[in-house]
């Protein structure tokens, strides 16, 4: 068995059987030690340790990894980590930072390559190991979970890896990227490129590594699927006058069984704060700017192409004009990116926002006491009464937005048998003769949610492309054909297929 660690000492566990028994084995050991002492191989800095007689408990046909190995002497401090079970001749080590819901599909995809050791590390005790023992990975012997202080041990984790996939929260990515640049180890993330990350572009190029970002669903698959069509239109000499892109992670219709038509698989606070973001887009040549406090008032009804049964709405998603530049469509009269929700979500959230439930400077109990239930619709009246009856003493003393989030996380969580859904639709030259619509629908299943699959598999494909030297150096997003063409092709093989109409 081999445990290969790039830039560090590697481990080989060798089991030898000789017809002459102990005498022949001693001769083999003497020859090996003589080889290690040869000055010609001094740069290898290798050492040899002999297993105790009890190592195999007399069963010399058993797999080596079935036994815990304890060296007989102190000359093998390099063997402090046991060999990876049944992992032979490894050439690539991928370390995944974080073991949340997105990590599972990423591990499953990457570990299909038996020549790749996939190591998951997490601060949460047992979480990484439990992930690696999931039934979808039951026969994968090239995965390992490790509990460690990720940021404290970051330098070693980077040094041991051929590529890192960071699924940590976005604020950690720049620190990880700087360490990767120092160690010349490529990095993949699913998060947006921040100004701080963008500033590392030249340094990454000088050190000869790619830092491939925005490899998820949104951002990620949205860039790739849009740019493939935009570039094709340019090659064909077709003019692009309007572009809109809509995306949303939602409960599947049968699970959208509350007044919001929405459920949370992680903290609701990010969703609520996003509902107060400023937005900007261009419509028919006119620049539209919306203040965050008014965002929910700008929701509009929407029907998914060829799937009118979904009653949806969309609201503007931050600054769409950034994509006019990054997509090379500066002359388009309409450039719009929006977030999809079920119809009624925005009006209900707007009412709760007006009542003070989004406030970060008032206590939760103060806001609840100020609500005049008599003035509310029946749906909102029942909701507020449910909040009042279930709120704990602890949550009542929180800030209003935090107490409300605690309620949402408890009451609007997915049930064990419920599945989610991802929707995405791009529209090019809307209401024109050459209008083109590209749409994607993905449902969750018993192994993973749709959100986890679309983000995790896309990020894993990014790692695959990096390991195959298909990504240019520097801070990169998947808006060029060298990345989006092979990635979309591999995503189709996983069942993520954009339908074009």
Q: Active-site positions? A: 218
DSSP line for 162-198: SEEEE-S-GGGHHHHHHHHHHHT--EEESSPPPHHHH
Burial class of residue 220, CB neighbours in 10 A (0-12, 13-18, 19+):
buried
Residues in CB range of 3: below 8 A, 6 or more apart: 10, 11, 12, 81, 83, 84, 87, 90
Secondary element (H or E) of residue 244: strand 242-251
How many other C-beta atoms lie within 10 A of the C-beta of residue 41?
A: 11
CA distance 8 to 419: 44
Q: Scanning the structure block, which residue is given the tokens 């520097």?
A: 474
CA distance 312 to 341: 6
Q: Which of 337, 324, 338, 306 is nearest to 241 (CA)?
A: 324
Cis peptide before 198 (omega within 30 of 0): no
CA distance 84 to 81: 9
CA distance 466 to 461: 9
CA distances 355 to 19, 65, 94, 262, 360, Å, are: 85, 61, 48, 20, 13
Helix (H, G, I), strand (E, B) or coil at 439: strand
Q: Give the pair of three-digit tokens for residue 103.
A: 């990590």
Residues in CB range of 311: below 8 A, 6 or more apart: 301, 342, 343
């Amino acid at each position: 068995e081999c445990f290969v660690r790039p830039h560090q000492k590697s481990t080989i566990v060798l089991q030898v059987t000789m017809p002459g028994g102990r005498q022949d084995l001693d001769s083999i050991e003497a020859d090996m030690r003589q080889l290690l002492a040869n000055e010609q191989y001094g740069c290898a800095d290798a050492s040899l340790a002999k297993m105790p007689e009890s190592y195999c408990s007399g069963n010399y046909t058993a797999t080596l990894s079935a036994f815990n190995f304890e060296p007989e002497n102190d000359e093998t401090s390099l063997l402090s980590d046991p060999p990876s079970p049944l992992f032979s001749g490894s050439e690539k080590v991928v370390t995944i930072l974080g073991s949340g819901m997105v990590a599972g599909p990423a591990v499953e995809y990457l570990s299909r390559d038996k020549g790749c050791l996939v190591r998951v590390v997490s601060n949460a005790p047992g979480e990484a190991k439990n992930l690696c023992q999931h039934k979808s990975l039951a026969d994968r012997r090239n995965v390992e979970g490790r509990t460690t202080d990720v940021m404290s041990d970051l330098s070693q984790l980077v040094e041991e890896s051929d590529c890192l996939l960071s699924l940590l929260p976005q604020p950690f990515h720049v620190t990880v990227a700087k360490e990767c640049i120092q160690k010349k180890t490529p990095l993949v993330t699913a998060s947006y490129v921040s100004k701080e990350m963008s500033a590392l572009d030249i340094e990454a190029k000088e050190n000869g590594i790619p830092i491939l970002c925005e490899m998820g669903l949104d951002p990620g698959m949205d860039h790739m699927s849009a740019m493939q069509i935009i570039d094709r239109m340019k090659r064909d000499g077709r003019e692009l006058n309007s572009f809109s892109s809509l995306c949303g992670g939602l409960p599947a219709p049968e699970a959208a069984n509350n007044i919001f038509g929405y459920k949370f698989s992680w903290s609701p606070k990010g969703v609520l704060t996003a509902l107060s973001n400023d937005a900007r887009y261009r419509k028919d040549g006119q620049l539209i700017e919306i203040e965050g406090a008014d965002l929910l008032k700008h929701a509009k009804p929407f029907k998914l192409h060829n799937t009118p049964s979904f009653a949806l709405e969309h609201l503007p998603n931050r600054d769409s004009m950034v994509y006019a530049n990054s997509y090379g469509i500066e002359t388009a009269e309409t450039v719009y990116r929006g977030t999809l929700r079920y119809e009624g979500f925005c009006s209900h959230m707007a009412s709760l926002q007006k009542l003070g439930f989004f406030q970060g400077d008032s206590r939760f109990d103060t806001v609840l006491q100020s609500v005049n239930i008599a003035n509310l619709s029946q749906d909102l009246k029942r909701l507020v009464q449910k909040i009042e009856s279930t709120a704990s003493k602890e949550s009542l003393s929180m800030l209003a937005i935090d107490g409300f989030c605690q309620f949402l996380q408890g009451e609007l969580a997915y049930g064990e048998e419920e599945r989610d859904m991802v929707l995405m639709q791009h529209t090019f030259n809307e209401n024109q003769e050459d209008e083109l619509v590209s749409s994607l629908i993905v449902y969750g299943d018993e192994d993973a949610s749709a959100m986890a699959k679309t983000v995790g598999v896309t990020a894993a494909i990014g790692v695959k492309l990096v390991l195959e030297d298909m990504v240019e150096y520097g801070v990169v997003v998947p808006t060029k054909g060298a990345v989006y063409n092979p990635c979309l092709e591999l995503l189709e093989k996983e069942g993520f297929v954009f339908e074009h109409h």
